[in-house]
Structure 1
Amino acid sequence: MHKLLDLYRQWAGAAPTETEKLPGAGSNREYYRLCDSEGRSVVGVIGTSREENHAFIYLCRHFCKRRLPVPEILAVSHDEMRYLQTDLGTVSLFDAISGGRDAGGRYTVKEKELLRKTIKALPEIQIRGSRGLDFGNCYPQAEFNTDSVLFDLNYFKYCFLKTTELDFNELKLEANFRLFAKDLTAEKCDSFLYRDFQARNIMLDNQGNPYFIDFQGGKKGPFYYDLASFLWQASAKYPNKLRRELVYEYYQSLKNYTEVPSVRHFVERLSLFVLFRTLQVLGAYGLRGYFEQKKHFLDSIPPAINNLRELLKMNCFPYPYMMDMLRRLTELPRFTQIETAAANRSDGYRTTEKNIYAAHPQDGPATFSKYDGKGPLKVRVFSFSYRKGIPEDRSGNGGGYVFDCRSTHNPGRYEPYKKLTGLDEPVIRFLEDDGEILTFLESAYKLADAHVRRYIQRGFTDLMFSFGCTGGQHRSVYSAQHLAEHINRTFGVEVTVCHREQGITQTLKAKQE
């Protein structure tokens, strides 16, 4: 640390008045925010590999010359083990979109716009950044090739697959690995492959414009890799619909920088890199999680396995033995049990206890009710029109919550939506792109979750929610349907949703123990 402070003194002419160690991620580099007496700050970096540091310093300087949004290198020690760079602030894209991620992939309009800005900027560094770049400075390899692919596939095999104790034929798997590697490297590409393009490595300025960091592992390679790396990041939980939109945005942006293949060819090639990237990150999660016991990587394994399950459903990969082995991997009890537990957990609350209707120790005599311990809970959710009155409660409990949706933007005011309902895709897109309904529901979810959780604890049998709007057709229908699905998915209880004015009733069955 004292050598980093010496470097700062040489550059600034004085010692920093304040030093703050920044949280690390997956690497062994150490980061510090160094401030002067006027509050101006830079970031100091201490690396463990001179070659890796050299790669970042070279690439950063090259990208700055190309006027790309990266930090500027301010000073470098003679041995390249320490350097100073401009401070890009504290807000990463990962932090900025945390709300949508925590909501299970329900990103707001603002969050989606940040994602679009980022994905549209990616070809800048991939294509423009590669022009005039000496790839001989890249670390640990200059180019994405068959050897590097096989290295990563074997990384997956030894650091993840073998830890599961799954039986497999190594010779057959190796043969499929080689065929897979050949297909991945079949098309030569002169673009810059970022390699670790993810939301944690994107910083945002005050206008939400993206800046790129941590590209020291980059090399010459296909642009598909980074797109797969970003959109299929296991913990991001991007819904398929949003992924498709962002792939389209990237494809359109790429056209501004280079010739692009047909859409069909592009998608086929992308699917190969999605599979490859999924196996690669599982290898990293195995090493960092199972061997180094880093919690972030252990927590990332279940969503990565879910990504793999989704890929296997495509049945489009010509590697029969590898596909069979991967299917058996996803069916191992250790992963199916994790998936079940995750599906039955919300904010740390489990609904899979043997007797979820047992009296809660905090209830005490003061909260005793004749309804305690009856269970199981059944929830009813209604949509309605205020013109026709609030739905009648026939349980005798008084009717529960009533939410007024009329403050949100009404799609019923526009001709294309007048004959549709909140169950139809065009209306859903309208409401979610507008975003007001999502903010409205965030508050409703918090109230509902707390109430359902407590009713389950006490063994109550009935709870009712109602959503009203002007006509009981668009906003109330959307809200009621989404709350019903949220409660059923989160708590596993039976939920009946009734769209009164539409004459539609649906029962979402309770999940079996």
Structure 2
Amino acid sequence: MSLDRQIEEQIKQLFKSWAHAEAETVNRMPQAGSARRYFRISGAGKTVIATWNPDIQENRAFIAFSRHFQENKLATPTILAVSEDESSYLQQDLGDYALYQDLPFKPLLLGKYQLVLAELARIQVLGGKDFPYEYAYPARRFDRDSMRWDLDYFKYFFLKLQEVPFDEQALEVEFNSLLDWLMEAPAWHFMLRDCQSRNIIFQEEKPWFIDFQAGREGPVAYDVASLLWQAKAEIPPDTRTALLEYYIGQLKRYIELDEAAFRDTYYGFVLHRNLQVLGAYGFRGLVQRKQHFIDSIPLALQNIQWLLQHIDFPVSLNEIKMALHQLYPKYPISTMAQNDDLKIRITSFSYKRGLPTDPSGNGGGFIFDCRSILNPGRFDAYKSLTGLDPSVQQFLLEESEIDTFLEPVFTLVDRAVSNYLERGFSNLQVSFGCTGGQHRSVYSSERLAAHLRQIPGVEVVLTHRERAHWPE
């Protein structure tokens, strides 16, 4: 049995023990940069998110933190069940509407960001009281060593891969001066560590934080810097400043604050965070060759360029400036931000009725033949159903090789989407065909559509062409 199948069986068993019912559907969710795998499981009228992660210490941290936050009635998902080996757990399903889906920033998002910042201050200060820091992993505190690891991440996984000259000794001196200054920052409470739009879900107009397993005691300014300076957000400078002031007002509801010292070191954490982000983009993109991270490098560099030009830092950053200055021309801002969203038309169809046409006139894209997959339509129980029905979906997942079929499909389409976004293209068509356009192609189209809707800058138009011919 493959690892994927073992994981799926484990989380289905965990769901059964919690819900006292069989799982009817198990849909794998898009995987980001970590080894964690997420699934949406439904059965007996209940839907939850299942997480599998081989890093047990990280799981223990997330579970302990979640339970602490729930005891304090903070906006984080509830832990519902944990497997005996602690490699998987079930949590509350808050939906798919993440803040990043609204990006890049528009004036209408100001209110949402204010809601996020207000809740962030609550989690940091109120959630930080009597916090179970003994579970924090890999470090209990965002201390000098932790900050140093991030700067080394930038140096080794981004800067040294660029083949630009720099004085490493001078760079080390600047790193140490920067760290000396940041260690003097005020307001150390709970720090989420990765506070960015992908990790904030909106449900009923309320923001929920879903990713904090790397949280620890640290300067609260770091989380604000992470959120407001996220590369893909492209928040205008004046708006960033206004949101910072709003956050400071919220923070002062809970603690006394030296505002001048906070604002001063805040921009130091903005720089530190953006250097860490470049390290992550370098590792995930330049080393692991994940295109999404490579595409994000120009916007992160633009953030740092603005910062170094407009903020007067109390420490010398000459070597950092000189090294990065050589990279700005290498990573120009893509024209994709100046174009409309990439429209991806996904179509399920029957080969008996011919291939789909491309209304955009682009002529590019993919047609995937699903007829090699075991057909549910051959069985009486499924003949009158479609790929939208849970029982058909369960059949395909358990009795066919549909996941094995779709995995390379996602890889191919993801590459094309990244390329089309980078080049400013406006249309891409992806079609799935099977015998009747009712089961396999419908399920595959739905899976790909759900996957692609997670990508910023993409509009997905899903059509089941043979719907009129389905049994009533």
State TM-score, norm by structure 1. 0.63
One-letter amino acid of the counterpart of residue 167, structure 2: N
User: Residue 253 of structure 1: SS of its match in structure 2?
Assistant: helix
Q: Does 1:271 align with 2:264?
A: no
Question: Which residue does 1:27 correspond to in 2?
Answer: 34
The answer on whether the counterparts of 1:150 and 1:181 sit within 8 Å (CA) in structure 2 is: yes
Structure 1 match to 2:209: 212
Runs of 4 or more off by more than 6 Å in structure 1? Answer: none
- Equivalent residue, structure 2, for 1:244: 241
Unaligned stretches of 5+ residues in structure 1:
350-361, 363-448, 451-513
Letter in 2 for 1:258: I
1:73 to 52, 74, 79: 79
Q: Which residue of 2 aligns with 1:17?
A: 24
Report if the CA contact (8 A) 1:190-1:220 is conserved: yes
Which one is further off, 40-49 or 308-317? 308-317
Query: Deviation at 1:189?
Result: 4.4
Could you tell me which residue of structure 1 aligns to residue 325 of structure 2?
Answer: 331
Per-residue deviation, 1:342: 3.6
Q: Within the alignment, does 1:150 sit opposite 2:148 as a pair?
A: yes
Cα distance between partner residues in 2 of 1:337 and 1:253? 40
Distance 1:249 1:149 in 2: 26
Partner amino acid, structure 2, of 1:130: G
Deviation at 1:344, TM superposition (A): 9.8
Contact 1:196/1:229 (8 A) holds in 2: yes
Query: Which residue is 2:124 aligned to?
Result: 126
Contact persistence 1:201–1:214 (CA under 8 A): yes
Partners of 2:151 and 2:320 in 1: how far apart?
A: 13
Does structure 1 conserve the Cα–Cα contact (< 8 Å) formed by 2:229 and 2:235?
yes
Q: Deviations over 1:11-51 (max 9, x none)?
A: 1112211111111222110100100143x200000012001
**Offset, 1:317:** 2.1
Give aligned-pair identity as a percent: 36
Cα distance in 2 for partners of 1:178, 1:211 equals: 36
Paired residues for 1:466-505 under 5 Å: none
Q: Contact between 2:186 and 2:262, CA under 8 Å: does it hold in 1?
A: no
User: Contact conserved, 2:170 with 2:319, CA < 8 A, in 1?
Assistant: no
Tell whether 2:302 aligns with 1:296: no
Rg comparison, structure with higher value: 1
Q: Secondary structure at the match of 1:338?
A: coil
Q: Does 1:56 align with 2:52?
A: no
1:260 aligns with 2:260: no
Is there any run of 5+ residues in structure 2 with no aligned partner, and where?
1-7, 343-360, 362-423, 426-472
User: Is this contact kept in 1: 2:19–2:44, CA < 8 A?
Assistant: no
Secondary structure of residue in 2 paired with 1:80: coil
How far the C-alpha of 1:124 sits from its partner, in A, is 0.7
User: Could you report, residue by residue, the CA deviation over 1:174-232 in whole angstroms, capped at 9, with x for unpaired residues?
Assistant: 122112112111246441010000111011112x1101111000000110000000000
Change (3 A) 1:340 1:90: closer
SS of 1:83 mapped into structure 2: strand
Secondary structure, counterpart of 2:28 in structure 1: strand
Contact 1:192 1:223 in 2 (8 A): yes
Q: Verify the 8 A CA contact 1:55 1:137 in the aligned structure 2.
A: yes
2:184 aligned partner: 186
Root-mean-square deviation over aligned CA pairs: 2.2
CA distance change for structure 1 residues 189 and 142 in 2, over 3 Å: closer, same or farther?
farther
Measured in 2, the distance between the counterparts of 1:92 and 1:315 equals: 31
Match of 2:14 among 7, 14, 25: 7
Residue 319 of structure 1 deviates from its aligned partner by 3.6
Provide the rounded CA distance (Å) in 1 between the counterparts of 2:300 and 2:328.
Answer: 10
CA contact (8 A) 1:144 1:185 kept: no
Number of residue-to-residue matches in the alignment: 338
**Equivalent runs, 1:280-359 vs 2, <5 Å:** 280-314=276-310, 316-320=312-316, 323-332=317-326, 335-339=328-332, 342=335, 346-347=339-340
What is the SS of the residue equivalent to 1:5?
helix
Letter in 2 for 1:155: Y
